[in-house]
Amino acid sequence: MAGPDGVLRCPWALSAEDYVTYHDEEWGRPVHGDDALYERLSLEAFQSGLSWITILRRREGFRAAFADFRIAKVAAFTVGDQERLLADPGIIRNRAKIEATLANARVLADWAPDELDELIWSHAPDGAPRPAPKNLGDVPAVTDESTALAKALKKRGIRFVGPTTAYALMQACGLVNDHLEDCAARNGSPEA
């Protein structure tokens, strides 16, 4: 669909300016680095059961609350930090999600550098790219790769990640390209 600027975008990106910016500048673009991927994994878990716009609008609050998602810093959070997070109106104050985010940092702190990056990207689909989706109904919620990624992460001790969350992570971090066929961002920038 064309936005007010005439650029064709995925329809979900047109309902709010925050979505336009996220769609045009981030979604579907490759993300690397353990801290950056930990942030995306954490935000996808917090999004579970909520709209993504809720997460986007609180993203800076999440970054402030979780030390910019630096794994080593979050892994050192105390019970007092957890209580602070549960009282922080700048984030989603869900105890299970907060506990999982802290536990995941502690697990990841013991991994080798780039191990999370390598694990996630090892689940990118192999072979020829699948056909570009023509409409939102063509975009899956779960794939064999996302199911395998969720299992691999869980096996290594990562919490609050299932196949749907893993697929959302794959979309957000550029492992798959689910921009619709006519979307300007499909093959580059929205200005392309």
Catalytically active residues, by annotation = 22, 44, 52
Please calculate the CA angle 38-43-47 and round it to the nearest 5 degrees.
150
User: Alpha-carbon torsion 1, 172, 127, 136, what sign?
Assistant: negative
Q: Is 10 annotated as a binding residue?
A: yes
Q: Is 179 annotated as a binding residue?
A: yes
Q: Is 23 annotated as a binding residue?
A: yes
Half-sphere exposure of 172 (CA within 13 A, CB side): 22
Q: Mark out the alpha helices in 26-143 (DSSP H runs).
A: 34-47, 52-57, 59-65, 71-75, 79-86, 95-109, 115-121
Please calculate the CA angle 35-163-141 and round it to the nearest 5 degrees.
110
User: Alpha-carbon torsion 120, 124, 126, 127, what sign?
Assistant: negative
Q: Is 183 annotated as a binding residue?
A: yes
Alpha carbon distance 143, 125 (integer Å): 10
Binding residues for Zn(2+), as ranges, are: 10, 23, 179, 183
